[in-house]
Amino acid sequence: MEGAGETGFAASHLIVGGRSEAHRVGVTETTYDDRGTVWRTRLEVGDQVVHLEQDTCADWPAHTFGPVVSTSRSEGGKETARSWNYCEWMPDNTEELLGVYLAGGIAVRQSRLARIVDERIVFPEDVLPGGSGGPR
Which sequence spans correspond to the domains of the chain? 12-88, 91-136
Q: Give the confidence band of 4 by pLDDT, cuts at 50, 70, 90.
A: very low
Instruction: Please write the tens of the pLDDT for every residue from 83-113.
Output: 777 777 788 888 888 888 888 888 878 878 8
User: Is pTM beyond 0.85 here?
Assistant: no
- Strands 84-88 and 19-23, by their bridges, are unpaired
d(CA 41, CA 74): 16
115 touches 36 (CB < 8 A): yes
CA 71, distance to chain mean position in Å, is 18
- Using CB atoms within 10 Å of the CB of residue 116, give its burial: 0 to 12 exposed, 13 to 18 middle, 19+ buried: buried
Report the chain's terminal Cα–Cα distance, integer Å: 24
- Per-residue pLDDT, averaged over 53-66, amounts to 79
